[in-house]
Amino acid sequence: MLVGAITHLAQRGANEIKIPSIMFTNRHQTKAYVSLGSNIGDRAGNLLLAIRGMTEAAMCVTRLSSVYETAPVSEVQQPPFLNMVVEVGNTLPTPEQVMARLLRIEFVLGRTREIKDGPRTIDMDLLLYGDLEKNTEFLMLPHPRLHQRRFVLEPLVEISPHCLHPTLKCTASKLLENSEDKSEVRVWSPKQAFASLLA
């Protein structure tokens, strides 16, 4: 069941995934975008558990990107990541509440921070919250490195190419077009992953 769900995430994208309609509603105009990443253990399973955690924390998931495999952006030697972006809508909690819930999900899924930019079971970043700008010790919006990371921009453009960066006044698609990050970001396929293990 888990492999089947992740196969849908990786191969079909958000618009074709069959998830109960209560999770997918566009009644509220403000959207938030959350990036997910994992490179320890069952990476795909960790992404799925993070999404489940978001829905259980009363966040209404409205769209999911495909799953992408990317090289780590770190000097620390570690395995490649699986990354994706989730759109959250409907009646949103406050940005601080969203961030607190994401941190709680990370904790429950075993996220630790002993090594800066080190490997992690799950990494959840609040990228955008409508056109809101914030700069506090707890939360920075938009995410300060959003425009520099291809592994974030590729899945973001897939589900919301026209969303606007409120500080840079550029759409996500334009940010990706102008990105200086040339690292490889490719759609992940479970079949290819299993084949590489058997090679």
Q: Which residues are catalytic?
A: 111, 120, 123, 125
Q: How many CB atoms lie within 10 A of CB 42?
A: 15
Contact between residue 157 and residue 173 where contact means Cβ atoms under 8 Å apart: yes
Please state, in angstroms and rounded to a whole number, the distance separating the CA atoms of residues 79 and 72.
7
What does each C-alpha distance from 111 to 39, 67, 102, 103, 107 come to in angstroms?
A: 11, 20, 11, 9, 5
